[in-house]
A and B are shown apart, each in its own frame.
Chain A
Amino acid sequence: DQQVKQNSPSLSVQEGRISILNCDYTNSMFDYFLWYKKYPAEGPTFLISISSIKDKNEDGRFTVFLNKSAKHLSLHIVPSQPGDSAVYFCAACETQGAQKLVFGQGTRLTINP
């Protein structure tokens, strides 16, 4: 069973526009969420995180929104740049439980010039 789901395998956005990547989870015990970015043939790198006590966290061009009632989070990138083209993984963690990260399937974002 997939506890963290990214239902869009790919997304294409024009440079300068907003990119919105979505992630849904089923485990209500998850209370810490992260986004990782991955280029081909490289390991993922940490991008941004959010605790369940917040509904928004912003870091430069990147903002993560959390909707606990819908068990949904999203990553907004604005403005999108060509260097943002990568695979983005959503991950979730039970801070009071297993404390292991559970990853989604990833969304491949392509920024078109």
Chain B
Amino acid sequence: DGGITQSPKYLFRKEGQNVTLSCEQNLNHDAMYWYRQDPGQGLRLIYYSQIVNDFQKGDIAEGYSVSREKKESFPLTVTSAQKNPTAFYLCASSLRLGWNTGELFFGEGSRLTVL
């Protein structure tokens, strides 16, 4: 089955700890994205990557880092610098970045809770 797999589904973290969320896709998509969902604020773009070894900051990149060493993988690290990390994180992919591929395919999400 083709799709996007995020892990873990639920994650708890102590303040001051870094945590990495995994995102893997087997759709052969070039572009991958990380979004954050908070109540009443919709989905906000954290980082995106158009191609391997390249990524760009989104609207709320502070306190996050990413890597794109493989086409299939786009892990997100939530660092201790992120002031309010408790949220639902969504990974997505599209065939490529561009208007005619505006349709994104999403993973099931990872809920991070900072204790």
How many whole Å from A3's CB to the nearest CB in chain B? 10
Across the interface, which residues of A come within 8 angstroms of B2, CB to CB?
none
Across the interface, which residues of A come within 8 angstroms of B6, CB to CB?
43
- Is the C-beta of A95 less than 8 angstroms from some C-beta in chain B? yes
Across the interface, which residues of B come within 8 angstroms of A9, CB to CB?
40
Contact with B103, one of A4, A6, A46 (Cβ below 8 angstroms): A46
Q: Is the CB of B43 within 8 A of A99?
A: no
Interface size on B, residues (CB 8 A): 27
Q: Please report the C-alpha to C-alpha distance between residue A113 and residue B93 in the assembled complex, in whole angstroms.
A: 36
Task: Name the segment of B14-22, B68-76, B78-86, B94-102 touching the other chain.
Answer: B94-102
Contact with A99, one of B35, B41, B44, B97 (Cβ below 8 angstroms): B97
Q: Interface readout for B19-41 with A: 1 if CB under 8 Å, 0 if not? A: 00000000000000001000011
Q: Is the CB of A42 within 8 A of B102?
A: no
Q: Is the CB of A101 within 8 A of B104?
A: yes
Contact A99:B42 (CB < 8 A) given known A43-B90, A43-B92, A45-B106: no
Q: Please report the C-alpha to C-alpha distance between residue A10 and residue B48 in the assembled complex, in whole angstroms.
A: 30
- Is the C-beta of A70 less than 8 angstroms from some C-beta in chain B? no
- Is the C-beta of B63 less than 8 angstroms from some C-beta in chain A? no
> In this complex, which of B4, B40, B42, B99 has the most chain A Cβ atoms within 10 angstroms of its Cβ?
B42
A residues whose Cβ falls under 8 Å from a Cβ of B: 4, 6, 9, 31-32, 34, 36, 41-46, 49, 89, 91, 93-96, 99-101, 103-106
23 pairs, CB–CB < 8 Å, chain A vs chain B? A31-B99, A36-B106, A41-B108, A41-B109, A41-B111, A43-B4, A43-B90, A43-B92, A43-B107, A43-B109, A44-B43, A46-B103, A46-B105, A49-B102, A89-B43, A91-B43, A93-B99, A95-B99, A99-B97, A99-B98, A100-B48, A104-B42, A105-B42
